Structure 1
């Protein structure tokens, strides 16, 4: 230790002495020559030291958990319970302001001298009584044949009102409808009658007044719900047809729990039609009890259709009909499910329903309901990717007294009014149908819906399914490219329609009209529609519509071509 101290002291003295000597020999501020030697080839090395790795010590394994017994002592405390007072939240919720306009008017005009007018007015105030008024009118002053000789017009006016209580709603309304047509469907082979005049240009005005009143329960999800309605309708045309109808419809539903539900529906109609060749009283009474069961994704319905009707028909076995109702569906997943049905019913037909299907219907000899003996259907349904939906099914139905429309020809080369149609019935008809539906929706910008139907008819007394299609296809598109603009494009196709022409025996000079008849194949019907509506403001918008843009010579009824390309435009206003 002493040796180390002496060495350090000697080194310090030598250093101080050298510094003093240099300071004495060097003058302040003088520059002296110095020599520096830089060696680039010198390598500095550090001796390698070995690393020592030591293993972690092995920890002892924990022993298993042991059972412990604790003694819990009770220490009662004499503390008063907390007295909490609930107070409502004072947060202010600002509801979104909605501008409700009670009035609406839409007016336009197009080719074929076609004015359009729609008007509605309804109560928007919150009250026990609510009401609405509506008026619609559209006419075509010119048509496809001889201008004004094929015109038509449609007008309806209605009022609806509802009075609300805490438990139920009392509703009612009255409506008036008028449709006028010109019978322009002349036959090129028979242009004149026995007096040398063509009878096809007569016009007809169809008028119907309907009044209804009823009551319904407001809470549709409670253990019991009900609804009842009483209605009256008067219908007449410019000729001899009159039809009065009184109807009563009542339904009730019981839901003992979320899985089971029972429903009973009753309907009674009495109709008194009067035509050129008959006048009768027709009654229709039906009771339809059903029971439904739901278990997770499985739904099942069973019931009966009990129907009594008094139509006069030769060799009719009974006025009373009983049909089963069995329906089931099961959704395996959102993408796939199946459904099936086995049922039967009686379809109620009136002159008013017939003339709504074919407005060129003439005097009829008999009105009959259509009995659906059975319907068997099975299919699949589902959706995927949240945008696509589909449905496909196949069914077979058996009918009695299925109705068809045929042109009103007589024998001996004489036509009284070839522009009018008559009703004919087939005793036993079997209809096979395959249908498919597809839907697609891309947010609120674009949506598509399409349906395809294929039919096959097996008939017993009629040669063909007159004026009924063999296939139908409908495609509806809606596009919203920008805000306030809605564009619709619809395509309706129908093919395989056959019409009954002249009695071939009549053409050969025989005095019979029992057939065989000429079969007239109508061209495929193709109707392309385009509609656009643009809202300029919240109250004012403009619209444009185009129908039959392919300018097809469509003919739904024999000798009745429809109008060509139709355009109509206008504006609407809310107030």
Structure 2
């Protein structure tokens, strides 16, 4: 549900509400696999003579379950009854940005959030950044300055012998010099950070290249591009949950340092209606985050104290990883109404200490089609992911089982019909092949789903 209005040509305000829930029903699951998502956001945007600004505030709630029990463990009814699989996450956030039309300080933004869960975990996050421009003749110098703060705590670690508290404060500075010519654009820059923390990993200075270039070989038909970039990523509990909601509230928080990512590619247009983009890259990351199953504290007969201790949740492990990556995309505009295409991604990982790139596929690919005509449109997505590896560790008696999550292929279809400028009807058909594949180990997705409704745009 979305609504917006204005009191003049210089402002706009509104908000939206999203709600999505499922009663579960995944085949073969012994625990509750239902979920509920609710989100709301309010915004206000104002345009002044020399600048424009926007502010928003929002709330998100996710209720889910650690329902992914391994088939390698035979659980007794007494053990199943001891598992309280419910988990709920709450996110409250505020954001704002401002952009000056003709000023030295070009733009700035701020984002603040408080993230909590039903296991009494708390995380506070804030980031403030700004961009300063320095025109030099025909060229442009600009710098990005950022201040990032993270503070959080978990009641205890997975062994339950200590609590987890973490604090990070990162100061970033990125100077850049941009050169623009008729067929050539070059950015010469760097990213510098000083990161302070209260943890044993210590405070540290980081520096990265930020060099990119592109050259128009034949107008816009063929463009060659290359670069060598890097960056510091501050991992957060909120980000991990958004990627994998089945993590346990016992995570160690660290920074991921992408030392460099060197890439070379070409993109363009063929026969006036075929767009393509192909790129090859080689990168090196320190402390890359990987999702790996937590050890199971039960062999199927022992009861557990927490609902995530039965091999049905994920930890985050870190490793130094070198990656070779090749990806590409082709889109064919067959006509004004019909287009189709696809993309692929190939990754080869070389890890320092971990045996595998846990839960990461080597190959991902998607085929897409879209047909639009007057008041209605229909689209289809066909996607594939290759197999992924994980380890199931059972603590008592101690054993390790290497798991291979099979590759999967599926189809989603969506349709929309616009009754008028305000009303539209939509239908989504998901997981048409009705396969309960596992995106993450032990967590089967729901089978064939039909989701439909009516959209209405309010003008208050």
TM-score over 0.5 for the pair: yes
Match of 1:265 among 144, 153, 157: 144
Gaps of 5+ in 2: 157-162
Match of 1:282 in 2: 168
1:458 aligns with 2:350: yes
Match of 1:120 in 2: 2
Match of 2:279 in 1: 393
Q: Deviations over 1:418-457 (max 9, x none)?
A: 211111111x210110111111223420123421110111
Match of 2:206 in 1: 321
Match of 1:420 among 300, 313, 320: 313
Match of 1:445 in 2: 337
Matches for 1:93-492 after TM superposition, within 5 Å = 119-124=1-6, 126-145=8-27, 149-192=32-75, 196-197=79-80, 200-217=83-100, 219=101, 222=102, 224=104, 226-257=106-137, 259-275=138-154, 276=156, 277-311=163-197, 319-333=204-218, 334-410=220-296, 413=299, 416-426=309-319, 428-480=320-372, 482-492=373-383
Question: How far did residue 126 of structure 1 move?
Answer: 3.1
Question: How far did residue 191 of structure 1 move?
Answer: 5.0
Match of 1:70 in 2: none
Question: How far did residue 378 of structure 1 move?
Answer: 0.7
1:533 aligns with 2:380: no
| Whole-Å separation in 1 of the counterparts to 2:206 and 2:149 | 18
More helix by share: 1
Contact 1:223 1:254 in 2 (8 A): no
Indicate how the Cα distance of structure 1 residues 192 and 412 shifts in structure 2: closer, same or farther if over 3 A, else same.
closer
Indicate how the Cα distance of structure 1 residues 298 and 483 shifts in structure 2: closer, same or farther if over 3 A, else same.
same
| Greater relative CO (CA pairs within 8 A, separation 6+) | 2
SS at match of 1:431: strand
Contact 1:185 1:200 in 2 (8 A): no
Q: Deviations over 1:155-214 (max 9, x none)?
A: 101101022210011321100001110111112333559973455552111000001233
What is the alpha-carbon root mean square deviation over aligned residues?
2.4
| Whole-Å separation in 2 of the counterparts to 1:379 and 1:198 | 55
Question: How far did residue 319 of structure 1 move?
Answer: 0.3
- Larger mean CA deviation between 463-472 and 318-327 belongs to 318-327
Matches for 1:494-509 after TM superposition, within 5 Å = 494-502=385-393, 509=397
SS at match of 1:161: strand
| Whole-Å separation in 2 of the counterparts to 1:401 and 1:573 | 46
Indicate how the Cα distance of structure 1 residues 223 and 298 shifts in structure 2: closer, same or farther if over 3 A, else same.
farther
SS at match of 2:165: coil
| Whole-Å separation in 1 of the counterparts to 2:448 and 2:275 | 33
Indicate how the Cα distance of structure 1 residues 249 and 548 shifts in structure 2: closer, same or farther if over 3 A, else same.
same
Q: Deviations over 1:537-565 (max 9, x none)?
A: 34433221100101122101111100000
Residues paired across the two proteins, number: 442
Indicate how the Cα distance of structure 1 residues 411 and 530 shifts in structure 2: closer, same or farther if over 3 A, else same.
closer
Indicate how the Cα distance of structure 1 residues 255 and 525 shifts in structure 2: closer, same or farther if over 3 A, else same.
farther
SS at match of 1:355: helix
More strand by share: 2
Contact 1:143 1:150 in 2 (8 A): yes
TM-score under structure 1 length normalisation: 0.72
TM-score under structure 2 length normalisation: 0.90
Structure whose CA Rg is larger? 1
Contact 2:294 2:393 in 1 (8 A): no
| Whole-Å separation in 2 of the counterparts to 1:527 and 1:287 | 44
Gaps of 5+ in 1: 1-118
